[in-house]
Chain A
Amino acid sequence: MTETFYDVLRRQGVTRRSFMKFCSLTAASLGLGPTLAPQIAHALETKPRTPVLWLHGLECTCCTESFIRSAHPLAKDVILSMISLDYDDTIMAAAGHQAEEALEEVMKKYKGNYILAVEGNPPLGNDGTFCIPGGKPFVEKLKHVAKDAKAVIAWGSCASWGCVQAAKPNPTNAVPIDKVITDKPIIKVPGCPPIAEVMSAVVTYVVAFDRIPELDRQGRPKMFYSQRIHDKCYRRPHFDAGQFVEKFDDEGARAGYCLYKVGCKGPTTYNACSTTRWNEGVSFPIASGHGCIGCSEDGFWDKGSFYERLTNIPAFGIEANADKVGLVAAGVVGAAVVAHAAVTAIKNASEQRKPTKEEK
Protein backbone atom coordinates (compact mmCIF):
# COMPACT_ATOMS: atom_id res chain seq x y z
CA MET A 1 0.00 0.00 0.00
CA THR A 2 1.39 3.38 -0.97
CA GLU A 3 1.69 6.01 1.67
CA THR A 4 0.30 9.51 1.12
CA PHE A 5 1.53 12.75 2.64
CA TYR A 6 -1.59 12.86 4.74
CA ASP A 7 -0.85 9.44 6.22
CA VAL A 8 2.63 10.57 7.13
CA LEU A 9 1.41 13.78 8.72
CA ARG A 10 -1.24 11.97 10.78
CA ARG A 11 1.39 9.53 11.93
CA GLN A 12 3.57 12.49 12.95
CA GLY A 13 0.72 13.78 15.12
CA VAL A 14 -0.55 16.58 12.88
CA THR A 15 -4.32 16.95 13.34
CA ARG A 16 -6.73 17.15 10.44
CA ARG A 17 -7.63 20.68 11.48
CA SER A 18 -3.98 21.73 11.33
CA PHE A 19 -3.62 19.98 8.00
CA MET A 20 -6.53 21.91 6.47
CA LYS A 21 -5.14 25.17 7.84
CA PHE A 22 -1.81 24.37 6.25
CA CYS A 23 -3.48 23.75 2.89
CA SER A 24 -5.28 27.12 2.99
CA LEU A 25 -2.10 28.93 4.02
CA THR A 26 -0.11 27.37 1.24
CA ALA A 27 -2.75 28.18 -1.36
CA ALA A 28 -2.69 31.78 -0.15
CA SER A 29 1.08 32.14 -0.22
CA LEU A 30 1.20 30.68 -3.72
CA GLY A 31 -1.36 33.26 -4.77
CA LEU A 32 -3.74 30.50 -5.86
CA GLY A 33 -6.92 31.69 -4.15
CA PRO A 34 -9.19 29.90 -1.67
CA THR A 35 -10.70 27.46 -4.17
CA LEU A 36 -7.35 25.77 -4.62
CA ALA A 37 -6.95 24.86 -0.95
CA PRO A 38 -9.22 21.78 -1.16
CA GLN A 39 -7.30 20.71 -4.24
CA ILE A 40 -4.04 20.83 -2.33
CA ALA A 41 -5.64 18.88 0.52
CA HIS A 42 -7.03 16.32 -1.92
CA ALA A 43 -3.68 15.90 -3.61
CA LEU A 44 -1.85 15.41 -0.33
CA GLU A 45 -4.48 12.93 0.85
CA THR A 46 -4.60 10.74 -2.21
CA LYS A 47 -1.32 10.94 -4.11
CA PRO A 48 1.55 8.73 -3.08
CA ARG A 49 4.10 10.69 -1.12
CA THR A 50 6.92 12.18 -3.16
CA PRO A 51 10.17 11.92 -1.27
CA VAL A 52 12.51 14.91 -1.17
CA LEU A 53 16.24 14.36 -0.96
CA TRP A 54 18.14 17.40 0.23
CA LEU A 55 21.86 17.57 -0.57
CA HIS A 56 24.38 20.03 0.81
CA GLY A 57 27.37 21.07 -1.28
CA LEU A 58 29.68 24.02 -0.91
CA GLU A 59 27.45 26.26 1.21
CA CYS A 60 26.95 27.95 4.56
CA THR A 61 23.65 26.30 5.57
CA CYS A 62 21.89 29.67 5.61
CA CYS A 63 19.21 28.19 3.33
CA THR A 64 18.42 25.52 5.91
CA GLU A 65 18.57 28.11 8.68
CA SER A 66 16.05 30.18 6.78
CA PHE A 67 13.87 27.21 5.92
CA ILE A 68 13.44 25.95 9.48
CA ARG A 69 12.23 29.42 10.42
CA SER A 70 9.24 29.34 8.11
CA ALA A 71 6.89 31.97 9.49
CA HIS A 72 3.98 29.79 10.38
CA PRO A 73 4.97 27.05 12.83
CA LEU A 74 2.42 24.80 11.20
CA ALA A 75 3.96 25.14 7.78
CA LYS A 76 7.32 24.43 9.31
CA ASP A 77 6.13 21.26 11.04
CA VAL A 78 4.35 19.98 8.00
CA ILE A 79 7.13 20.64 5.54
CA LEU A 80 9.83 19.40 7.85
CA SER A 81 7.93 16.17 8.38
CA MET A 82 7.75 15.83 4.63
CA ILE A 83 11.44 16.42 4.13
CA SER A 84 13.38 15.08 7.08
CA LEU A 85 11.95 11.61 6.61
CA ASP A 86 14.11 10.98 3.63
CA TYR A 87 17.51 12.58 3.48
CA ASP A 88 18.83 15.91 4.67
CA ASP A 89 22.18 15.39 6.33
CA THR A 90 21.92 18.58 8.37
CA ILE A 91 18.59 17.96 10.06
CA MET A 92 17.94 14.22 9.79
CA ALA A 93 18.29 11.96 12.81
CA ALA A 94 20.50 9.39 11.14
CA ALA A 95 24.16 10.07 10.47
CA GLY A 96 27.16 8.53 8.73
CA HIS A 97 26.71 5.21 6.93
CA GLN A 98 23.13 4.96 8.14
CA ALA A 99 22.28 8.24 6.46
CA GLU A 100 24.00 7.34 3.22
CA GLU A 101 22.16 4.00 3.21
CA ALA A 102 18.86 5.81 3.61
CA LEU A 103 19.75 7.94 0.61
CA GLU A 104 20.51 4.92 -1.57
CA GLU A 105 17.36 3.19 -0.41
CA VAL A 106 15.10 6.10 -1.33
CA MET A 107 16.85 6.45 -4.68
CA LYS A 108 16.19 2.79 -5.45
CA LYS A 109 12.65 2.62 -4.12
CA TYR A 110 11.45 5.85 -5.75
CA LYS A 111 13.59 5.75 -8.88
CA GLY A 112 12.60 8.59 -11.21
CA ASN A 113 10.00 9.74 -8.75
CA TYR A 114 11.76 11.77 -6.05
CA ILE A 115 12.58 15.46 -5.82
CA LEU A 116 16.19 16.50 -5.40
CA ALA A 117 16.76 19.73 -3.49
CA VAL A 118 20.28 21.10 -3.59
CA GLU A 119 21.72 23.61 -1.18
CA GLY A 120 25.14 24.91 -2.18
CA ASN A 121 27.03 24.02 -5.30
CA PRO A 122 29.77 21.73 -6.57
CA PRO A 123 33.34 23.05 -6.92
CA LEU A 124 34.88 21.49 -10.02
CA GLY A 125 38.48 22.56 -9.42
CA ASN A 126 41.06 19.90 -8.44
CA ASP A 127 38.68 17.11 -9.55
CA GLY A 128 36.05 18.37 -7.15
CA THR A 129 38.11 17.72 -4.03
CA PHE A 130 37.27 21.07 -2.46
CA CYS A 131 34.02 19.59 -1.18
CA ILE A 132 33.97 15.99 0.04
CA PRO A 133 30.80 14.80 1.80
CA GLY A 134 30.71 11.08 2.65
CA GLY A 135 34.20 10.48 1.27
CA LYS A 136 33.40 11.43 -2.33
CA PRO A 137 33.57 14.70 -4.23
CA PHE A 138 30.22 16.47 -3.99
CA VAL A 139 29.96 16.81 -7.75
CA GLU A 140 29.84 13.00 -8.05
CA LYS A 141 27.20 12.66 -5.36
CA LEU A 142 25.17 15.38 -7.05
CA LYS A 143 25.27 13.70 -10.44
CA HIS A 144 24.55 10.33 -8.86
CA VAL A 145 21.43 11.51 -7.04
CA ALA A 146 20.24 13.77 -9.87
CA LYS A 147 20.34 10.88 -12.34
CA ASP A 148 17.03 9.37 -11.18
CA ALA A 149 15.34 12.51 -9.84
CA LYS A 150 12.04 13.74 -11.24
CA ALA A 151 12.88 17.38 -10.74
CA VAL A 152 15.57 19.45 -9.05
CA ILE A 153 15.21 22.45 -6.76
CA ALA A 154 18.23 24.77 -6.54
CA TRP A 155 18.12 26.36 -3.10
CA GLY A 156 19.68 29.77 -2.75
CA SER A 157 22.07 31.82 -4.81
CA CYS A 158 24.83 29.17 -4.48
CA ALA A 159 22.95 26.45 -6.29
CA SER A 160 21.24 28.93 -8.65
CA TRP A 161 24.07 31.25 -9.67
CA GLY A 162 27.26 30.37 -7.77
CA CYS A 163 27.16 33.05 -5.06
CA VAL A 164 30.17 33.91 -2.89
CA GLN A 165 32.28 30.83 -3.61
CA ALA A 166 31.94 31.53 -7.33
CA ALA A 167 32.76 35.24 -6.94
CA LYS A 168 35.88 36.38 -8.73
CA PRO A 169 38.44 34.85 -8.81
CA ASN A 170 36.49 31.67 -7.89
CA PRO A 171 39.53 29.66 -6.70
CA THR A 172 37.67 26.35 -6.39
CA ASN A 173 35.82 26.75 -9.71
CA ALA A 174 32.45 26.47 -8.00
CA VAL A 175 29.58 26.35 -10.53
CA PRO A 176 25.80 26.58 -10.23
CA ILE A 177 24.13 23.17 -10.36
CA ASP A 178 22.63 23.72 -13.81
CA LYS A 179 26.17 23.45 -15.19
CA VAL A 180 26.34 19.89 -13.88
CA ILE A 181 22.72 18.73 -14.12
CA THR A 182 21.64 19.40 -17.68
CA ASP A 183 18.90 16.85 -18.31
CA LYS A 184 16.38 17.67 -15.54
CA PRO A 185 14.05 20.56 -14.94
CA ILE A 186 15.63 22.85 -12.34
CA ILE A 187 13.65 25.27 -10.20
CA LYS A 188 15.94 28.08 -9.07
CA VAL A 189 15.05 29.68 -5.77
CA PRO A 190 17.80 32.29 -5.41
CA GLY A 191 18.53 34.47 -2.41
CA CYS A 192 21.19 34.36 0.23
CA PRO A 193 19.26 32.80 1.83
CA PRO A 194 15.91 32.54 0.03
CA ILE A 195 12.82 33.57 1.98
CA ALA A 196 11.52 30.73 4.15
CA GLU A 197 7.92 31.09 2.99
CA VAL A 198 9.03 31.02 -0.63
CA MET A 199 10.98 27.83 0.00
CA SER A 200 8.14 26.02 1.75
CA ALA A 201 5.62 27.15 -0.85
CA VAL A 202 7.79 25.89 -3.69
CA VAL A 203 8.27 22.49 -2.05
CA THR A 204 4.57 22.19 -1.32
CA TYR A 205 3.61 23.17 -4.84
CA VAL A 206 5.89 20.58 -6.37
CA VAL A 207 4.89 17.70 -4.11
CA ALA A 208 1.18 18.55 -3.99
CA PHE A 209 0.57 19.25 -7.68
CA ASP A 210 3.24 16.91 -8.98
CA ARG A 211 4.50 19.51 -11.41
CA ILE A 212 6.94 22.38 -11.26
CA PRO A 213 5.60 25.92 -10.89
CA GLU A 214 5.69 28.24 -13.89
CA LEU A 215 9.26 29.49 -14.31
CA ASP A 216 10.70 32.61 -15.92
CA ARG A 217 13.53 32.49 -18.45
CA GLN A 218 16.11 32.37 -15.71
CA GLY A 219 14.40 29.36 -14.16
CA ARG A 220 12.83 31.10 -11.16
CA PRO A 221 9.20 30.55 -10.07
CA LYS A 222 7.26 33.46 -11.55
CA MET A 223 4.98 33.76 -8.53
CA PHE A 224 7.85 34.96 -6.31
CA TYR A 225 10.41 36.46 -8.68
CA SER A 226 8.37 38.53 -11.12
CA GLN A 227 8.75 41.84 -9.35
CA ARG A 228 11.62 43.85 -8.02
CA ILE A 229 12.04 44.78 -4.36
CA HIS A 230 11.65 48.37 -5.61
CA ASP A 231 8.22 47.73 -7.16
CA LYS A 232 6.62 46.90 -3.82
CA CYS A 233 8.93 48.81 -1.47
CA TYR A 234 7.16 50.81 1.23
CA ARG A 235 9.80 53.55 0.81
CA ARG A 236 8.99 53.88 -2.91
CA PRO A 237 6.99 57.13 -2.40
CA HIS A 238 10.19 58.75 -1.10
CA PHE A 239 11.98 57.62 -4.27
CA ASP A 240 9.31 59.14 -6.48
CA ALA A 241 9.29 62.32 -4.41
CA GLY A 242 13.07 62.64 -4.68
CA GLN A 243 13.81 62.16 -0.97
CA PHE A 244 16.97 60.19 -0.34
CA VAL A 245 19.23 59.10 2.48
CA GLU A 246 22.61 60.66 1.62
CA LYS A 247 24.50 59.22 4.59
CA PHE A 248 23.48 56.59 7.11
CA ASP A 249 23.41 59.09 9.98
CA ASP A 250 21.62 61.98 8.32
CA GLU A 251 18.14 63.44 8.79
CA GLY A 252 16.86 61.51 5.77
CA ALA A 253 17.92 58.21 7.33
CA ARG A 254 16.01 59.06 10.47
CA ALA A 255 12.97 60.07 8.42
CA GLY A 256 13.05 56.76 6.56
CA TYR A 257 13.80 58.16 3.11
CA CYS A 258 14.69 56.05 0.07
CA LEU A 259 18.07 54.27 0.30
CA TYR A 260 18.79 54.52 -3.45
CA LYS A 261 21.75 56.88 -3.06
CA VAL A 262 23.42 54.75 -0.42
CA GLY A 263 23.47 51.86 -2.85
CA CYS A 264 20.14 50.06 -2.42
CA LYS A 265 19.88 47.38 -5.11
CA GLY A 266 16.08 47.14 -4.76
CA PRO A 267 15.55 48.55 -8.28
CA THR A 268 17.59 45.74 -9.85
CA THR A 269 16.66 42.83 -7.59
CA TYR A 270 13.89 40.35 -8.26
CA ASN A 271 12.62 38.87 -5.02
CA ALA A 272 9.60 38.92 -2.70
CA CYS A 273 11.23 40.49 0.40
CA SER A 274 9.24 43.73 0.30
CA THR A 275 5.94 41.80 0.26
CA THR A 276 6.66 38.63 2.25
CA ARG A 277 9.28 40.12 4.57
CA TRP A 278 11.34 38.03 6.98
CA ASN A 279 11.07 36.45 10.41
CA GLU A 280 7.31 36.09 10.52
CA GLY A 281 6.81 39.28 8.59
CA VAL A 282 8.70 41.42 11.12
CA SER A 283 11.05 43.25 8.79
CA PHE A 284 13.34 43.13 5.77
CA PRO A 285 16.65 44.94 5.12
CA ILE A 286 15.16 48.19 3.80
CA ALA A 287 12.71 48.38 6.71
CA SER A 288 15.72 48.07 9.01
CA GLY A 289 17.39 51.06 7.36
CA HIS A 290 19.86 49.25 5.15
CA GLY A 291 19.69 49.03 1.38
CA CYS A 292 19.00 45.79 -0.41
CA ILE A 293 22.30 44.13 -1.45
CA GLY A 294 20.69 42.23 -4.31
CA CYS A 295 21.50 38.79 -2.87
CA SER A 296 19.09 36.96 -5.17
CA GLU A 297 20.71 38.35 -8.33
CA ASP A 298 23.32 36.57 -10.40
CA GLY A 299 26.89 37.60 -9.51
CA PHE A 300 25.89 40.12 -6.85
CA TRP A 301 29.29 39.81 -5.17
CA ASP A 302 31.08 41.08 -8.25
CA LYS A 303 29.12 44.28 -8.79
CA GLY A 304 31.25 46.50 -6.55
CA SER A 305 30.25 48.17 -3.32
CA PHE A 306 26.94 47.39 -1.63
CA TYR A 307 26.78 51.12 -0.88
CA GLU A 308 26.99 52.53 -4.39
CA ARG A 309 24.42 52.58 -7.14
CA LEU A 310 26.75 52.26 -10.09
CA THR A 311 28.47 48.99 -10.86
CA ASN A 312 32.25 48.79 -10.68
CA ILE A 313 33.82 48.20 -14.07
CA PRO A 314 36.98 46.30 -13.19
CA ALA A 315 38.42 46.04 -16.72
CA PHE A 316 40.35 49.25 -16.25
CA GLY A 317 42.51 48.14 -13.37
CA ILE A 318 41.26 50.98 -11.21
CA GLU A 319 37.98 51.45 -9.45
CA ALA A 320 35.64 52.94 -12.00
CA ASN A 321 31.96 53.12 -12.77
CA ALA A 322 30.03 54.02 -15.92
CA ASP A 323 30.12 57.75 -15.17
CA LYS A 324 33.86 57.85 -14.52
CA VAL A 325 34.58 55.82 -17.64
CA GLY A 326 32.24 58.01 -19.66
CA LEU A 327 33.70 61.25 -18.39
CA VAL A 328 37.32 60.20 -18.92
CA ALA A 329 36.57 59.03 -22.45
CA ALA A 330 34.60 62.20 -23.17
CA GLY A 331 37.64 64.18 -21.95
CA VAL A 332 39.92 62.19 -24.25
CA VAL A 333 37.56 62.67 -27.22
CA GLY A 334 37.24 66.36 -26.40
CA ALA A 335 41.01 66.82 -26.16
CA ALA A 336 41.47 64.97 -29.45
CA VAL A 337 38.90 67.23 -31.08
CA VAL A 338 40.61 70.37 -29.79
CA ALA A 339 44.01 69.12 -30.92
CA HIS A 340 42.67 68.18 -34.34
CA ALA A 341 41.02 71.58 -34.70
CA ALA A 342 44.26 73.30 -33.77
CA VAL A 343 46.28 71.34 -36.32
CA THR A 344 43.59 72.03 -38.94
CA ALA A 345 43.80 75.73 -38.26
CA ILE A 346 47.61 75.81 -38.42
CA LYS A 347 47.69 73.72 -41.61
CA ASN A 348 45.10 75.90 -43.28
CA ALA A 349 46.88 79.08 -42.30
CA SER A 350 50.22 77.87 -43.61
CA GLU A 351 48.79 76.37 -46.80
CA GLN A 352 46.96 79.50 -47.74
CA ARG A 353 50.33 81.15 -48.21
CA LYS A 354 51.78 78.48 -50.52
CA PRO A 355 49.27 77.15 -53.09
CA THR A 356 49.69 73.47 -54.00
CA LYS A 357 50.18 72.03 -57.47
CA GLU A 358 46.55 71.01 -57.88
CA GLU A 359 45.32 74.50 -57.29
CA LYS A 360 47.71 76.06 -59.85
Chain B
Amino acid sequence: MSIEGRDLKFPAYVWQAPVRIWHWLMALAMVVLWGTGYFIGAPLPSVPGEASENYLMGYIRFAHFAAAYVFAIAFLGRIYWAFVGNKHAREIFLVPLYMLKPAWWGSFFRTVAHYAFLRRHADWHYGHNHLAMAAMFGMYVLGTVFMIVTGFALYGEGTLKGSWANNLFTSWVIPMMGDSQNVHTWHHLGAWYLFWFTVVHLYFVIREDIVSGLTVVSSMISGWRDVKNG
Protein backbone atom coordinates (compact mmCIF):
# COMPACT_ATOMS: atom_id res chain seq x y z
CA MET B 1 0.00 0.00 0.00
CA SER B 2 1.34 3.36 -1.01
CA ILE B 3 1.13 6.30 1.30
CA GLU B 4 1.09 9.47 -0.70
CA GLY B 5 2.45 12.76 0.43
CA ARG B 6 5.34 11.51 2.58
CA ASP B 7 7.71 13.25 0.14
CA LEU B 8 6.17 16.68 0.70
CA LYS B 9 8.50 19.36 2.04
CA PHE B 10 7.59 20.49 5.54
CA PRO B 11 7.40 22.95 7.16
CA ALA B 12 5.23 24.66 4.56
CA TYR B 13 3.41 27.99 4.66
CA VAL B 14 -0.18 27.05 3.77
CA TRP B 15 -2.79 29.35 5.28
CA GLN B 16 -2.02 32.96 4.41
CA ALA B 17 -2.90 35.71 6.89
CA PRO B 18 -6.18 36.79 5.22
CA VAL B 19 -7.38 33.19 5.28
CA ARG B 20 -6.56 32.88 8.97
CA ILE B 21 -8.19 36.19 9.87
CA TRP B 22 -11.27 35.23 7.88
CA HIS B 23 -11.41 31.83 9.56
CA TRP B 24 -11.50 33.14 13.11
CA LEU B 25 -13.68 36.16 12.33
CA MET B 26 -16.17 33.89 10.59
CA ALA B 27 -16.09 31.39 13.48
CA LEU B 28 -16.81 34.16 15.97
CA ALA B 29 -19.64 35.56 13.84
CA MET B 30 -21.08 32.07 13.50
CA VAL B 31 -21.19 31.55 17.26
CA VAL B 32 -22.99 34.89 17.69
CA LEU B 33 -25.38 33.99 14.86
CA TRP B 34 -26.29 30.64 16.39
CA GLY B 35 -26.91 32.10 19.83
CA THR B 36 -28.93 35.09 18.72
CA GLY B 37 -30.67 33.11 15.98
CA TYR B 38 -31.83 30.54 18.50
CA PHE B 39 -33.30 33.26 20.72
CA ILE B 40 -35.04 34.90 17.76
CA GLY B 41 -36.80 31.60 17.06
CA ALA B 42 -37.45 30.82 20.72
CA PRO B 43 -37.31 34.10 22.65
CA LEU B 44 -36.19 34.42 26.29
CA PRO B 45 -38.81 34.78 29.05
CA SER B 46 -40.58 38.14 29.04
CA VAL B 47 -38.87 41.13 30.61
CA PRO B 48 -40.85 43.15 33.17
CA GLY B 49 -41.64 46.85 32.87
CA GLU B 50 -42.87 49.09 30.10
CA ALA B 51 -42.22 48.24 26.47
CA SER B 52 -40.65 51.67 26.01
CA GLU B 53 -38.01 50.88 28.65
CA ASN B 54 -36.89 47.59 27.13
CA TYR B 55 -35.33 46.58 23.86
CA LEU B 56 -34.11 43.02 24.49
CA MET B 57 -35.46 41.42 21.32
CA GLY B 58 -34.30 44.46 19.40
CA TYR B 59 -30.72 44.08 20.68
CA ILE B 60 -30.72 40.33 20.00
CA ARG B 61 -31.91 40.92 16.46
CA PHE B 62 -29.41 43.74 16.00
CA ALA B 63 -26.57 41.45 17.11
CA HIS B 64 -27.82 38.81 14.69
CA PHE B 65 -27.94 41.23 11.77
CA ALA B 66 -24.59 42.81 12.63
CA ALA B 67 -22.90 39.40 12.92
CA ALA B 68 -24.61 38.39 9.68
CA TYR B 69 -23.07 41.35 7.86
CA VAL B 70 -19.64 40.43 9.26
CA PHE B 71 -20.19 36.80 8.25
CA ALA B 72 -21.30 37.72 4.73
CA ILE B 73 -18.69 40.39 4.06
CA ALA B 74 -15.93 38.14 5.42
CA PHE B 75 -17.14 35.45 3.04
CA LEU B 76 -17.02 37.87 0.11
CA GLY B 77 -13.49 38.81 1.15
CA ARG B 78 -12.63 35.11 1.30
CA ILE B 79 -13.91 34.63 -2.26
CA TYR B 80 -11.74 37.56 -3.36
CA TRP B 81 -8.74 35.93 -1.68
CA ALA B 82 -9.46 32.71 -3.54
CA PHE B 83 -8.58 34.64 -6.69
CA VAL B 84 -5.45 36.42 -5.48
CA GLY B 85 -4.18 34.12 -2.73
CA ASN B 86 -2.12 30.95 -2.96
CA LYS B 87 -3.53 27.72 -4.33
CA HIS B 88 -4.66 26.51 -0.91
CA ALA B 89 -6.96 29.53 -0.69
CA ARG B 90 -8.77 28.18 -3.74
CA GLU B 91 -9.23 24.53 -2.92
CA ILE B 92 -12.47 24.69 -0.94
CA PHE B 93 -14.14 26.53 -3.83
CA LEU B 94 -12.66 24.56 -6.71
CA VAL B 95 -13.27 21.01 -5.47
CA PRO B 96 -16.11 20.40 -7.96
CA LEU B 97 -13.60 21.06 -10.76
CA TYR B 98 -10.95 18.81 -9.18
CA MET B 99 -13.57 16.09 -8.99
CA LEU B 100 -13.73 15.99 -12.80
CA LYS B 101 -10.25 14.46 -12.84
CA PRO B 102 -10.37 10.72 -12.10
CA ALA B 103 -6.93 10.87 -10.43
CA TRP B 104 -8.32 13.13 -7.70
CA TRP B 105 -10.56 10.35 -6.40
CA GLY B 106 -7.70 8.03 -5.46
CA SER B 107 -6.67 10.03 -2.45
CA PHE B 108 -10.34 10.70 -1.65
CA PHE B 109 -11.10 7.00 -1.28
CA ARG B 110 -7.83 6.31 0.55
CA THR B 111 -8.91 8.93 3.10
CA VAL B 112 -12.37 7.38 3.38
CA ALA B 113 -10.74 3.99 3.93
CA HIS B 114 -8.47 5.50 6.54
CA TYR B 115 -11.42 6.95 8.45
CA ALA B 116 -13.23 3.62 8.16
CA PHE B 117 -10.18 2.03 9.85
CA LEU B 118 -9.35 0.04 6.71
CA ARG B 119 -6.03 1.83 6.17
CA ARG B 120 -3.67 2.70 8.91
CA HIS B 121 -2.17 5.83 7.35
CA ALA B 122 -3.77 8.78 5.65
CA ASP B 123 -2.31 10.61 2.67
CA TRP B 124 -0.49 13.81 3.48
CA HIS B 125 -1.39 17.08 1.77
CA TYR B 126 -0.22 20.63 2.27
CA GLY B 127 -3.81 21.81 2.60
CA HIS B 128 -6.98 19.80 3.11
CA ASN B 129 -7.13 16.10 2.38
CA HIS B 130 -9.51 15.33 -0.46
CA LEU B 131 -12.37 14.20 1.73
CA ALA B 132 -12.05 17.32 3.89
CA MET B 133 -11.99 19.47 0.76
CA ALA B 134 -15.24 17.89 -0.46
CA ALA B 135 -16.86 18.41 2.95
CA MET B 136 -15.67 22.03 3.02
CA PHE B 137 -17.42 22.65 -0.27
CA GLY B 138 -20.54 20.55 0.25
CA MET B 139 -21.21 21.53 3.83
CA TYR B 140 -19.39 24.76 4.56
CA VAL B 141 -19.38 26.69 1.25
CA LEU B 142 -22.85 25.65 0.06
CA GLY B 143 -24.26 25.93 3.58
CA THR B 144 -22.83 29.42 3.95
CA VAL B 145 -24.13 30.62 0.59
CA PHE B 146 -27.54 29.21 1.49
CA MET B 147 -27.55 30.94 4.87
CA ILE B 148 -26.45 34.27 3.40
CA VAL B 149 -29.11 34.15 0.67
CA THR B 150 -31.99 33.04 2.92
CA GLY B 151 -30.77 35.26 5.75
CA PHE B 152 -30.74 38.43 3.70
CA ALA B 153 -34.08 37.42 2.17
CA LEU B 154 -35.55 37.40 5.70
CA TYR B 155 -33.72 40.60 6.56
CA GLY B 156 -35.20 42.25 3.47
CA GLU B 157 -38.71 41.46 4.71
CA GLY B 158 -38.13 43.84 7.59
CA THR B 159 -36.31 46.50 5.59
CA LEU B 160 -39.25 46.44 3.14
CA LYS B 161 -39.60 46.75 -0.60
CA GLY B 162 -37.07 49.04 -2.19
CA SER B 163 -34.25 48.13 0.21
CA TRP B 164 -31.19 46.45 -1.30
CA ALA B 165 -31.76 43.20 0.62
CA ASN B 166 -35.36 43.07 -0.53
CA ASN B 167 -34.49 43.80 -4.17
CA LEU B 168 -31.55 41.43 -4.25
CA PHE B 169 -32.88 38.50 -2.21
CA THR B 170 -36.40 38.75 -0.75
CA SER B 171 -38.01 39.43 -4.11
CA TRP B 172 -37.09 36.02 -5.54
CA VAL B 173 -36.27 33.79 -2.54
CA ILE B 174 -39.75 33.95 -1.01
CA PRO B 175 -41.63 33.12 -4.23
CA MET B 176 -39.09 30.36 -4.93
CA MET B 177 -39.59 28.71 -1.53
CA GLY B 178 -43.35 29.26 -1.52
CA ASP B 179 -43.78 31.66 1.36
CA SER B 180 -42.02 33.50 4.14
CA GLN B 181 -42.55 30.78 6.73
CA ASN B 182 -40.86 28.18 4.54
CA VAL B 183 -37.85 30.47 4.20
CA HIS B 184 -37.74 30.80 8.00
CA THR B 185 -37.86 27.01 8.39
CA TRP B 186 -35.11 26.43 5.81
CA HIS B 187 -32.93 29.13 7.34
CA HIS B 188 -33.39 27.43 10.71
CA LEU B 189 -32.46 24.01 9.30
CA GLY B 190 -29.50 25.62 7.51
CA ALA B 191 -28.19 26.84 10.86
CA TRP B 192 -28.33 23.28 12.15
CA TYR B 193 -26.61 22.04 8.99
CA LEU B 194 -23.67 24.34 9.69
CA PHE B 195 -23.74 23.23 13.31
CA TRP B 196 -23.45 19.55 12.31
CA PHE B 197 -20.61 20.54 10.01
CA THR B 198 -18.88 22.34 12.85
CA VAL B 199 -19.12 19.34 15.17
CA VAL B 200 -17.52 17.15 12.50
CA HIS B 201 -14.97 19.83 11.64
CA LEU B 202 -13.85 20.26 15.26
CA TYR B 203 -13.58 16.53 15.75
CA PHE B 204 -11.49 15.95 12.65
CA VAL B 205 -9.08 18.85 13.13
CA ILE B 206 -8.36 17.65 16.65
CA ARG B 207 -8.12 14.02 15.56
CA GLU B 208 -5.85 14.85 12.64
CA ASP B 209 -3.70 16.96 14.91
CA ILE B 210 -3.16 13.92 17.14
CA VAL B 211 -3.15 11.06 14.62
CA SER B 212 -1.95 12.31 11.21
CA GLY B 213 1.53 13.38 12.21
CA LEU B 214 1.02 16.88 10.79
CA THR B 215 0.08 20.05 12.63
CA VAL B 216 -3.52 21.08 12.06
CA VAL B 217 -4.93 23.28 14.81
CA SER B 218 -1.82 25.42 15.18
CA SER B 219 -1.63 25.83 11.39
CA MET B 220 -4.77 27.95 11.37
CA ILE B 221 -3.03 30.23 13.89
CA SER B 222 0.47 30.42 12.46
CA GLY B 223 -0.23 29.50 8.85
CA TRP B 224 2.57 26.90 8.84
CA ARG B 225 2.15 23.15 8.62
CA ASP B 226 4.87 20.95 9.91
CA VAL B 227 5.60 17.32 10.71
CA LYS B 228 5.14 16.57 14.36
CA ASN B 229 8.06 14.86 15.97
CA GLY B 230 7.62 11.13 16.28
A contacts, CB < 8 Å to B: 217-218, 222, 226-228, 231, 237-244, 246, 252, 257, 260-261, 265, 267-270, 294, 297-299, 303, 309-311, 313, 321-323, 325-327, 329-330, 333-334, 337, 340-341, 343-344, 347-348, 351, 356, 358
Q: Which 5 A-B pairs have the closest CB atoms?
A: A326-B192, A242-B56, A241-B54, A322-B188, A268-B180
Please judge, given known A-B contacts A231-B158, A268-B179, A268-B180, whether A348 and B47 are in contact too, CB under 8 Å: no
Residues of chain B within 8 A (CB-CB) of A243 are 46-47, 51, 54
Which B residues from 175 to 193 make CB contacts under 8 A with A? Answer: 175, 178-182, 184-185, 188-189, 191-192
How does the 8 Å CB contact mask read for B21-61 relative to A, with 1 for contact and 0 for none?
00000000000000000000111111100111111111010
Contact across chains for A340 and B203 when beta carbons are under 8 A apart: yes
Cα distance, A348 to B184, chains bound together (Å): 45
Closest to B175 in A: A217
Task: Kindly count the residue-residue contacts between A and B in the assembled complex, taking CB atoms under 8 Å apart.
Answer: 129
Q: Report if B171 contacts A (CB, 8 A).
A: yes
Asked whether, in the complex, the Cβ of A270 is within 8 Å of the Cβ of B43, the reply is: no
Contact in complex: A311, B185 (CB < 8 Å)? yes
User: Can you show 17 pairs from A to B with CB atoms below 8 A apart?
Assistant: A228-B180, A241-B52, A241-B57, A243-B51, A265-B181, A298-B178, A299-B178, A303-B181, A311-B185, A322-B41, A325-B192, A326-B192, A329-B196, A341-B203, A351-B120, A356-B120, A358-B3
Interface residues on chain B, size class: 35 or more
B55 vs chain A, min Cβ distance (A): 6
Q: Of all chain B residues, which has the CB nearest A329?
A: B196
**Is the Cβ of A268 less than 8 Å from the Cβ of B196?**
no
Check: B137 CB closer than 8 A to any chain A CB: no
Nearest chain A CB to B142 CB, angstrom units: 17
Given A231-B160, A241-B57, A269-B180, 11 additional A-B pairs, CB 8 A: A218-B174, A237-B51, A241-B55, A244-B43, A268-B181, A322-B192, A330-B192, A337-B203, A340-B207, A358-B3, A358-B120
Residue ranges of B at the interface with A (Cβ–Cβ < 8 Å): 1, 3, 41-47, 50-58, 60, 115, 117, 120-121, 157-158, 160-161, 171-172, 174-175, 178-182, 184-185, 188-189, 191-192, 195-196, 199-200, 203, 207, 211
Q: Which of A257, A321, A340 contacts B46 (CB 8 A)?
A: A257
Cβ-defined contact, A298 with B121, below 8 A? no
Q: Which B residues touch A330, using CB under 8 A? A: 192, 195-196, 199
- Min CB distance B121 to A, Å, is 7
Determine if A261 and B43 form an interchain contact, defined as CB atoms under 8 angstroms apart. Answer: yes
Tell me, in angstroms, the Cα distance from A246 to B42 when the chains sit together: 11
Pair B52/A237 contact, Cβ less than 8 Å: yes
Contacting residue for B41 out of A238, A313, A323, A358, CB 8 A: A323
Q: Which residue of B lies closest to A251 (CB)?
A: B46
